[in-house]
Structure 1
């Protein structure tokens, strides 16, 4: 039989049943039709229902014929209805065929593993990607999981299922997937095969064969090779953070400690460890680990920036300023670092303003007021130089509004009304 059906792309699967039972012979007559009608499919369902109870006494060859046929029928119907449970049922049928053919003639194994499963996986992944693009992460998760179950060499699909489960806030499922990835030692540090979709988007494939299939059947072009970075640190980090989400800091730290035994200087793992400390409010150990990362030669300005934030929170103003300045040294356009220095410089300004507001009109108080105003203005001017740079550099609209508010306040405090009015118009 040849039946046409689609799952995000046209799939063509030849269905043949070489049965010795009457029901299977009738199935063969129907499925040999080029275009089975709705009535044909209804008759097939009846024949399946009639034959299934007889399979208990059938030999392995007959069982393989039956489940091969049933799998194709279930798949056709599931795809027509876009029924994920139906696809699972079809896969279960095909898996029975594969198991049966381990001890008998392998009539269908090659077709299932090399044609049917790759095509089904291709369709499910296309739908999963579209669901993800529309932020329907919950619906995408089982599709990635099923794609992984079809070919467990494509571990990246399990990784995607884990990541999407986090986005769907299904933390238990995500933790299960990430722990399986950890058990498998998955790093994704390998060569990926690439091709450009008809829409111009570069797609990544786990193996050359699947990539070439897309080029042959889906008008993909520009085949290439890409070396993927390791995601080992991200996996451990997510396991740890998910345990923190569940309120189990001990298991979170156990996950990090286990991984660090093999790779004590892995920056990804150290970054994950630092984030655990940060999430749990342990700023002392957070700073310790960040410094360890920097000592390993990291030039990440974000690490220096984060040390600046935690130092400021601990009241270590000078140390915080030095970290912000180091972040700027590495990245001269790090707007947030400029802004935070500006904010840092304003620390203590409230006490000056409070004293100014509490002074009277005596000659002594007026002299004190002028002295305090001069001191306050000096603070404002130094802060202004940093906040103005931050505002000019920032591209994020939300951050820019925040920087604008402080800049306007500084202009007003310094009686720079022309600048303040001009800023309001921006």
Structure 2
């Protein structure tokens, strides 16, 4: 008889607990309607210990309200990173619970809110990155990845921000996860011009984005569709992994990582390029040149490859870099960045001229030396002019090209050309 009374009492306690948690969830919903998310979370906190024994419907409702409360706090700019991450996690719980239960009362709203939270996380990460708060940016993007693990690009950029913030162990953890997922990032970006403002817009890089873009082009809402190939990021992942390992004094591990990457991806030139870059960082120029030569021999018509080797070579050998940039132009005469980098390579000596000229006095000897240096400096600027003008012809909207060309016109006292270019740029 005592056992029966005990069972009845226990059942009564569970029943009372169920009423209590329902009341707390209702109180939280009311607080949210009154735009008081802090009070809403306080009410939910009182129900938290009981939620594990709740029905699936109550659990879904609890997490949905919790997600809304955290999202509302983030909207009020209160601990944005923490609250957006918590909101995303809560909405995921809703989706998981209702999927397992075969219900969908909150699913559609949770999916929409999760997408909004993810978008807010990405935007907040961009702002943090601009402010050089790299650790915060990495947190936000990792939370965005956790919200949707199919979007591995967010994990890739979280790793990049962690690297920039010198959180190397964390970056290695993210890069390791990307390698396990066999992430490449290779794909196609879809663009088209808006018929209203004639501005090119990015539609995305998924099959759905392409369908959306193509439909709007057919309806003449957009024009001039453009597809842009996105190269593999595997080389960048392995390169950064290797460079971090080198910085940590783990050179053998770095070499091993790249060897394994090449074995698994024998045709991925970005990984071979990463290996060449590693040996350049290690000051093993003989191995670097051998690897760079092998790369170009295997891909003699790859302008991107020639250009990238030029970028790497520019760190130590300007003459060699110039040769690779010219090779890229030979393969693709419209390679804007190769023209620009050639010009920058030649302009690299300007500081040396300016420093020496500023140190000179007013003696006859100094004045003669000044004239010699001035002539040499003008010759340097003149040698860059064909490359800059060609780059500007190919890409007149490129601000780096336009500004560099303006400076060179000014240095050469070509004031008519400088004035005409400034007018074109609206300056």
Q: C-alpha deviations, 1:271-320, integer Å up to 9, x for none?
A: 1111111222222222221121121215516647977987x8xxxxxxx9
Given candidates 57, 75, 81, the residue that maps to 1:79 is 75
| 1:402 to 1:267, Cα distance in 2 relative to 1, 3 A | farther
Q: Distance in 1 between matches of 2:369 and 2:351?
A: 19
Q: 1:137 to 1:122 in 2, by over 3 A?
A: same
2:147: which partner in 1? 150
For 1:57, the equivalent position in structure 2 comes to: 53
1:168 CA drift (Å): 1.2
Contact 2:92/2:114 (8 A) holds in 1: no
Q: Answer 1 or 2: which has greater helix percent.
A: 2
Query: Secondary structure at 2:228's aligned position in 1?
Result: strand
Distance 2:54 2:312 in 1: 68
Distance 1:308 1:36, change over 3 A: closer
Q: Computing the radius of gyration over CA atoms, which structure comes out larger, 1 or 2?
A: 1
Could you say if the C-alpha distance between residues 393 and 193 of structure 1 is closer, same or farther in structure 2, counting changes exceeding 3 Å? closer
Farther off after superposition, 108-117 or 22-31? 22-31
Structure 1 residue corresponding to 2:19, chosen from 7, 13, 21: 21
Distance in 1 between residues matched to 2:161 and 2:80, nearest whole Å: 20
CA RMSD of aligned residues (A): 4.4
- Is the CA contact (8 Å cut-off) linking 1:408 and 1:423 kept in structure 2? no
Contact 2:138 2:161 in 1 (8 A): yes
C-alpha distance in structure 2 between counterparts of 1:126 and 1:95, whole Å: 20
What secondary structure does 2:143 align onto?
A: helix
SS in 2 for 1:152: coil
Separation in structure 2 between the aligned mates of residue 61 and residue 324 of structure 1, nearest angstrom: 65
Shift of 1:115: 0.5
* Contact 2:68 2:87 (C-alpha < 8 Å) held by counterparts: yes
d(CA) in 2 for partners of 1:279, 1:246: 13
Structure 2 unaligned spans of 5+: 1-16, 214-220, 331-341, 360-364, 379-410, 412-427
Supply the distance in 2 between the matched residues of 1:201 and 1:165 (Cα, whole angstroms).
32
Task: Pick from 99, 104, 128 the counterpart of residue 102 of structure 1.
Answer: 99
Say if 1:72 and 1:90, in contact at 8 Å, map to a contact too.
yes
Contact 1:408 1:420 in 2 (8 A): no
| More displaced 10-residue stretch of structure 1: 62-71 or 223-232 | 223-232
1:103: how far off?
2.9
1:337 is aligned to none
In structure 2, distance between residues paired with 1:396 and 1:31: 66
Q: Using CA pairs below 8 Å that are at least 6 residues apart, which structure has the higher relative contact order? A: 1
Which residue of structure 2 aligns with residue 400 of structure 1? 350
Distance 1:108 1:181, change over 3 A: farther
Alpha-carbon shift at residue 136 of structure 1 (Å): 2.7
- TM-score by length of structure 2 reads 0.63
Whole-Å Cα distance in 1 between the matches of residues 143 and 349 of structure 2?
41
Secondary structure of the 1:281 match is: coil
Deviations 1:104-146 (A, max 9, x none): 1422563256311111111111222222233332221111111
State the alpha-carbon separation in 2 of the partners of residues 221 and 139 from structure 1. Answer: 37
CA contact (8 A) 1:162 1:173 kept: yes
Structure-2 change in CA distance of 1:28 and 1:404 (3 Å) = same
- Pairing 1:205–2:204 present: yes
What is the Cα deviation at residue 157 of structure 1? 0.9
Aligned 8 A contact 2:89 2:147 in 1: no
- Provide the secondary structure at the position in 1 that maps to 2:90: helix
Matches within 5 A, 1:148-297: 148-194=145-191, 203=202, 205-207=204-206, 225-296=227-298, 297=300
Q: Runs of 5+ in structure 1 lacking a partner?
A: 1-18, 214-219, 313-319, 334-391
* 1:190–1:229 contact (8 Å) kept in structure 2: yes
Give TM-score scaled by structure 1 length: 0.63
